[in-house]
């Protein structure tokens, strides 16, 4: 579980950097990180799709706070998947 926990933390940190700086270079970094999730468990396919959509819309609408920084949601999904 350590590789998944580390990956999740990196995703969260990158989401926060994107929201704080609004620098779109973090968009691709987040997509690359999210693509690594399903390697650990099939459950992460839906989580990846959901967050790619959230990031895409946040960047397109230039509306980062509400659409992107729902870290509690991300963590709830993550905690459920670890128990599977």
**pTM metric for this prediction:** 0.79
Query: Tokens 């992107």 map to which residue?
Result: 68
Per-residue model confidence as pLDDT tens digits over 9-58: 899 889 889 888 989 899 999 999 999 999 988 888 998 998 899 899 88
pLDDT for the residue numbered 74: 66
Do 18 and 71 form a contact (C-beta atoms < 8 A)? no
Query: What gap in Å lies between CA 58 and CA 18, rounded to an integer?
Result: 10
Nearest to 77 by CA among 39, 57, 59, 51: 51
pLDDT for the residue numbered 4: 86
């Amino acid at each position: 579980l350590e590789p998944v926990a580390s990956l999740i933390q990196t995703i969260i940190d990158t989401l926060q950097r994107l929201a704080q700086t609004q620098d779109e270079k973090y968009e691709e970094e987040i997509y690359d990180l999210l693509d690594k999730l399903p390697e650990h468990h099939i459950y992460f396919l839906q989580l990846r799709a959901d967050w790619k959509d959230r990031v895409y819309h946040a960047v397109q609408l230039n509306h980062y706070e509400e659409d992107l920084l729902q870290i509690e949601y991300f963590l709830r999904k993550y905690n459920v998947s670890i128990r599977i």
